[in-house]
Amino acid sequence: MTTHFITAEVDLTADPAELPKAVEAELEKRGEPLRWAVTAVDEATQQVQVEAVVTTATAADA
């Protein structure tokens, strides 16, 4: 298992309660999210910047 520090941009949702689900769905494309935080909000583009730590499986894990 390998850990990675990544950044991602996620569209703001109309319902703030849906934002965590949108962030986790985006992060799962890159691995298993361990933790994440919103670090910036761009109101002009309606996106949030997220920094996260994710894990991915390696050949040794199989």
**pLDDT tens-digit readout, 1-54:** 899 999 999 999 888 899 999 999 999 999 999 999 999 999 999 999 999 999
User: Smallest Cα–Cα separation from 25: which of 52, 62, 58, 57?
Assistant: 52
Could you list the beta-strand ranges (E) of 1-62. Answer: 2-11, 32-42, 47-56
The burial of 16, by beta-carbon neighbours within 10 Å (0-12 exposed, 13-18 middle, 19 or more buried), is given as: exposed
Q: In the chain, what is the greatest distance between 2 CA atoms, to the nearest angstrom?
A: 44
3-class DSSP state of 10: strand
In this predicted structure, what is the pLDDT of residue 55?
95
Single-letter amino acid code for the residue at 47 = Q
Range of the domain at 16: 2-61
Q: How many domains does the chain have?
A: 1
Question: Which pTM value belongs to this model?
Answer: 0.84
